[in-house]
Chain A
């Protein structure tokens, strides 16, 4: 296990470098000087223009820029935000908890609803519940999450007035003010994932339920719930764990758009505003941190998978 873990963690290092390099290359694809894109339509004198160019280091050759940029960002220093005028790392640290809370809550809801739904659908295959579950998950995956978000606002905030439409309150203002503003975003974010995880659980369970050892357990005369929970689900869990990690990564990606719907000042909202304002240091930093969290999640999932399934460790 240890050898596998070490190998896996070592493989993580080049991935980080490739990610950073890709971020560097893409954000510098801009035709012409990015400074022009940056200042947009504002009238700026030549001195200010030169100052920004120098500040961003754009007056130097690209390779030199890269060699200066890479060691700096590896330590987490993405420089000053052009729009906010503060260190990028500081802004990201402020916003990270919001994105993290949103994604984590969505993951909990997804697991709590998706896995039981998938198990029930697998047990009652072809039955009414399977049918309803299938329709639910097909619809969940087809609805654009941001549109679903607006529909939820329309129903629960505008019509019923049960929950606030959007915005964010830090936990210091109390638990309910915080949670009440998280409920709708979490539902909007988790619906598509519930469909996905329910489907995965269903097909994995069906596969496991067809195994000889399950037939054997039944033949021994064990009760059905013992067969399903102890024999089938335990083995199916190995596959399902992978999906849980996937859900978290998906949630991180989805949070980008959901935070914009509900005006949650998280990392996703930061990335989109930085993209629209062409605040490159912030954009680079935001994307890197979001990707890093997704990568670390994947790493943890891989390690957990290897822990539960020894075949992965020894096989190639």
Chain B
């Protein structure tokens, strides 16, 4: 089954600068957010009224906010919060997207229903749909995950559906069917592995996008409720002090950009690797 995943074999054949840079940046980010709490005593919620709005110093690397909370600690734990939300949304999108995409690639009736619903989810510009959902069910971590999932799942469904339709009629799949392989095994072993590449590309962009949407929603006051140290919340809190304590604004935005950039690079790298047409163009 591993051999039938096309992206793995190409992985080793072609070195890919974007993919490597992106993966390296993401690993660095993840490692930093895991190791930092082990090395330093960090508490993102500890309030110290005597040290409000302090500029960056040796004790407080990134200064303190209006409650005297350590910005560095909040950035580190913000990585946990923001990446957790984005990861949960992406994982949910992957599972549901693959299942619904497979179903709609196989049955005409299901395709009509699922297709219509996912098309209508895509009608709303930007994350207006997410704003509407969160206004109705209230700001909470799980609700943000749900909203981001609903916004992105139509794209994954489409990608999986296209691959299923393309490969279900392929000779090697028909051959497998004629040997008497059951429908489930046929899909899981012979058809779906062909969708791995395109879906991986979709999901890395989706992950990046989820981070941006979560930050945006939190910034608007519709995402994670305070005092959660999500990066979007930190930017939202910092706006009041943009003239007096601008350093509060720098770090969370830089972290969001770094995370999104690394995931976009991974997505671009994967796509270049998987799309032979694009490869030829680059080699021209």
Within 8 A of A (CB), among B85-138: 116, 120-121, 123-129, 131-138
A275 touching B253, Cβ below 8 Å: no
Stretch at the interface among A217-225, A254-262, A301-309: A254-262
When chains A and B are docked, how far (Å) is the Cα of A295 from the Cα of B219?
A: 27
Q: Which residues of B contact A27 (CB under 8 A)?
A: 132, 135-136
Q: Does B256 reach chain A (CB closer than 8 Å)?
A: yes
Q: Nearest CB to that of B243 among chain A residues?
A: A158
Report the minimum CB–CB distance from B173 to chain A (whole Å).
Answer: 25
Q: In the complex, how many residues of chain A place their beta carbon closer than 8 angstroms to a beta carbon of chain B?
A: 51
Q: Which residues of chain A come closer than 8 Å to B219, judged between CB atoms?
A: 144, 146, 257, 260
Q: Is B261 on the interface with A (CB-CB < 8 A)? A: yes
- Which residues of the other chain, B, contact A200 by a CB distance below 8 angstroms? none
Which residues does chain B contribute within 8 Å of A138, judged by CB atoms? 261, 264-265
Which residues of A are found within 8 Å of B242, using beta-carbon distances? 150, 153-154, 158
Mask, B233-262, CB within 8 Å of A = 1, is 001001100110010010011001110110
- Residues from chain A with Cβ under 8 Å of B138 in the complex: 37
Residues of A within 8 Å of B257, CB to CB, are 139, 142-144, 147
A92 within 8 A of B: no
Question: Interface size bucket, B side?
Answer: 35 or more
Check if A160 is an interface residue, CB within 8 A of chain B: no
* B220–A257 CB distance below 8 A: yes
Smallest beta-carbon distance B252→chain A, Å: 8
Q: Say yes or no: A139 contacts B124, CB within 8 Å.
A: no
For the residues of A in contact with B, the DSSP-based class is helix
Within 8 A of B (CB), among A208-260: 210, 249-250, 252-254, 256-257, 260
CB distance from A69 to the nearest CB of B (A): 15
Asked if A291 and B135 sit within 8 Å, CB to CB, the answer is: no
Contact between A206 and B222 (Cβ–Cβ < 8 Å)?
no
B132 touching A275 by the CB < 8 A rule?
yes
Select which of B235, B281, B284 is within 8 A of A146 by beta carbon. B235
Q: Which of A14-22, A83-91, A167-175 contacts B (4 or more CB under 8 A)?
A: A14-22
Is the C-beta of B206 less than 8 angstroms from some C-beta in chain A?
A: no
B261 proximity list for chain A (CB < 8 A): 138-139, 142
CB nearest to A21 among chain B residues: B120
A2 at the interface (CB under 8 A from B): no
A44 close to chain B: CB less than 8 A = no
Q: Does B215 contact A (CB under 8 A)?
A: yes
**CB of A26 closer than 8 Å to a CB of B:** yes
Which listed residue, B120, B131, B221, B252, touches A271 by the CB 8 Å rule? B131
The complex places the Cα of A276 from the Cα of B123 at a distance, in Å, of: 22
B220 close to A22 (CB less than 8 A)? no
A206-B128 in contact given A142-B257, A144-B256 (Cβ < 8 Å)? no
Within 8 A of B (CB), among A149-182: 150-151, 153-154, 158
From B120, B127, B128, A18 is in contact (CB under 8 Å) with B120
CB distance from B20 to the nearest CB of A (A): 15
Say whether B78 faces chain A, with CB atoms less than 8 Å apart.
Answer: no
Is B135 a contact partner of A276 (Cβ separation < 8 A)?
yes
Chain A to chain B contacts (Cβ below 8 Å), 17 pairs: A27-B135, A29-B137, A138-B261, A138-B264, A139-B261, A141-B264, A142-B257, A144-B212, A144-B235, A150-B235, A150-B242, A252-B126, A257-B216, A260-B219, A275-B132, A287-B132, A294-B125
Give me the interface of B with A, judged by CB distance under 8 Å. Answer: 116, 120-121, 123-129, 131-138, 208, 212, 215-216, 219-222, 232, 235, 238-239, 242-243, 246, 249, 252-253, 256-258, 260-261, 264-265, 281, 284
12 other A-B residue contacts (CB within 8 Å) besides A144-B215, A210-B284? A18-B116, A26-B129, A27-B136, A147-B257, A148-B253, A250-B126, A253-B127, A253-B128, A257-B126, A275-B131, A291-B124, A294-B124
